[in-house]
Amino acid sequence: MKFNITINIPFFLFLSFAFLISCLSSIKDPKDEFVYVQNIRGQSEEELELNAKRKILENGLGELIQGSSQVISGKLKDSIVNSSVEGFVLEYSKIGITRKLATGLLEIDAKGKVNQKAVQDALRERYKDLGKPKFLVFIEERILGKQNIKEKVGITENEIVRIFSDFDFLEKKQFYRVLFKEGKKDPGAFSEQSFEDKILSLASESEAQILLVGQTEVTDLGRIEDTGLHSYQSVLRFKIFDVNTARIIAADNSSGVSPHINPNTGIQNSIKRSVEKAYPKIRDQISNKWKPGNLIRIKIEGLSYEDYLDKDVQGVIRTIQGVNRVSEASGGDPNKGIVLEIEALYNGGALYQKLRERKEDFGLEFSGKEVKPSYIHLFFKK
């Protein structure tokens, strides 16, 4: 019996290994499934293959593009689809023969796999082009009953800048100068709501995309028994706004406690811990709810509505890289002029520069009477 068992062990192991391989090979990642397309038409075999790959990408990208929509422009999907020969479609093959239609066009069926990694890499590269979200922070601090000056950069803001390395931060001193230029030197003159409204209004005229407004309160919870330590607690209450839409992205409280013999160190450590606890909430909410872009209004003067239509001004603007949407805010009312609303991945100054670069496409001379981050006034010369 021992002899027979010894003889059968290698055979048993072989069967087990073969069965395991068979099971593993039968498990397919849904992302590796073929995408089938039918009735693809073109004038040559090369055009048929390109059109088929484009259709494979269009059919296969849906979930990926939707899931990554916060880091792409409206043009990126078209860019990827038009570059489908650049490694975005794997294992492409034609199914059956090429059919010739009565119209003279050729037609095929085909299949291929979408290279998810290559597309994800393209999305990451596009995100690098967009840059990091630009952040404005306004934190009021009350430490052991003493309120800091709003204009002063406090401990909380320094910790936010240090921990939130995913974002670019803007200098806020200029906003305070504008905020209090009408003689309102005392920050307490503003209610919480009016202060938020005023800051949002100012932020919309800047490059800021995300605004964080909040308060930090630090209290001494008392001496820890049988030690020389005091326990310091900080509570950070905050709201985060999408500057473009004035929508609240997140609102939450976060707290941190630090025992220490030195009050200054204990206070700083407790604030640091409250910011560290807040960071994942803020990061996740922004990634889920914020989409990069700016809303820019363009007022057109000196151009009749008929010329505006004939020159396809709206169409030319829509084709500019990084412009996601163009719509008319007001029609051809000669008293109001023509006003367009543009969603773009940059501010008004950058958009105006791109408009200048496309001047020949308009077929008309124009100049900028006023150019602001969220507003452009164009004057067309006849």
Place of tokens 């090979």: 25
| Predicted confidence band of residue 100 (pLDDT cuts 50, 70, 90) | very high
Question: For position 130, what pLDDT does the model report?
Answer: 54
155: left (phi over 0), alpha (psi -120 to 50) or beta: alpha
Mean pLDDT across the chain, nearest whole number? 76
- Residue 204 buriedness (CB in 10 A; 0-12 / 13-18 / 19+): buried
| pLDDT average, residue stretch 169-192 | 61
Residue 255 structure tokens: 């707290």
Place of tokens 């709206």: 314
281-292 per-position pLDDT tens digit: 887 777 667 666
pLDDT of 28 > 50? The answer is no
Residue 328 structure tokens: 């008319």
More confident residue, 79 or 216: 216
Residue 103's SS3 state is coil
pLDDT of 317 > 80? The answer is yes
234-255 per-position pLDDT tens digit: 999 988 888 877 788 888 888 8
Cα–Cα distance, 205 to 326 (Å, whole number): 20
As a whole-number percent, the residues of the chain with pLDDT over 90 amount to 10
Nearest C-alpha neighbor of 305 from the set 380, 361, 365: 380
CB 230 within 8 A of CB 216: no
Question: For position 256, what pLDDT does the model report?
Answer: 87
| Predicted confidence band of residue 39 (pLDDT cuts 50, 70, 90) | very high
Cα–Cα distance, 207 to 118 (Å, whole number): 31
| pLDDT average, residue stretch 73-96 | 75
| pLDDT average, residue stretch 121-137 | 67
Question: For position 21, what pLDDT does the model report?
Answer: 39
Question: For position 155, what pLDDT does the model report?
Answer: 87
pLDDT of 342 > 50? The answer is yes
Nearest C-alpha neighbor of 299 from the set 202, 370, 364: 370
The number of beta carbons lying within 10 Å of the beta carbon of residue 375 is: 15
Amino acid (one-letter) located at 130:
L
Exposed e or buried b per residue across 73-102, where buried means at least 16 C-beta atoms within 10 angstroms of its C-beta: bbbbbeebbeebeeebbeebebeeeeeeee
CB 231 within 8 A of CB 221: yes
Question: For position 108, what pLDDT does the model report?
Answer: 94
Q: Which of 60-74, 150-164, 269-283, 320-334 has the highest mean pLDDT?
A: 269-283
Weakest-pLDDT range from 11-25, 179-193, 246-260: 11-25
pTM of this prediction?
Answer: 0.50
CB 215 within 8 A of CB 141: yes
* 143-146: Cβ within 8 A, 24+ apart: 143/216, 143/217, 143/218, 143/267, 144/218, 144/219, 144/220, 144/263, 144/267
Amino acid (one-letter) located at 157:
E
| Predicted confidence band of residue 37 (pLDDT cuts 50, 70, 90) | very high
| pLDDT average, residue stretch 264-277 | 90
Cα–Cα distance, 82 to 48 (Å, whole number): 13
Cα–Cα distance, 324 to 318 (Å, whole number): 7
H-run or E-run covering 316: helix 313-318
Angle (deg, nearest 10), helices 116-130 and 45-67: 70
**What domains appear along the chain, each with residue ranges and CATH number?**
35-130 (no CATH), 134-289 (3.30.160), 296-380 (no CATH)
Residue 116's SS3 state is helix
Question: For position 63, what pLDDT does the model report?
Answer: 57
Residue 159 structure tokens: 């910790």
Question: For position 66, what pLDDT does the model report?
Answer: 55
Of the chain, the end-to-end C-alpha distance in Å amounts to 104
| Predicted confidence band of residue 22 (pLDDT cuts 50, 70, 90) | very low
Residue 141 structure tokens: 């601090």
Weakest-pLDDT range from 36-40, 53-57, 190-194, 247-251: 190-194
Cα–Cα distance, 358 to 338 (Å, whole number): 19
| pLDDT average, residue stretch 147-161 | 78
Residue 36's SS3 state is strand
Weakest-pLDDT range from 20-29, 125-134, 254-263, 364-373: 20-29
| Predicted confidence band of residue 365 (pLDDT cuts 50, 70, 90) | confident
The alpha helices in 68-172, defined as continuous H runs, are 76-82, 116-130, 155-163
User: Which residues on neighbouring strands pair with residue 294, listed in sequence order?
Assistant: 344
Nearest C-alpha neighbor of 140 from the set 255, 205, 241, 218: 218
Question: For position 36, what pLDDT does the model report?
Answer: 93
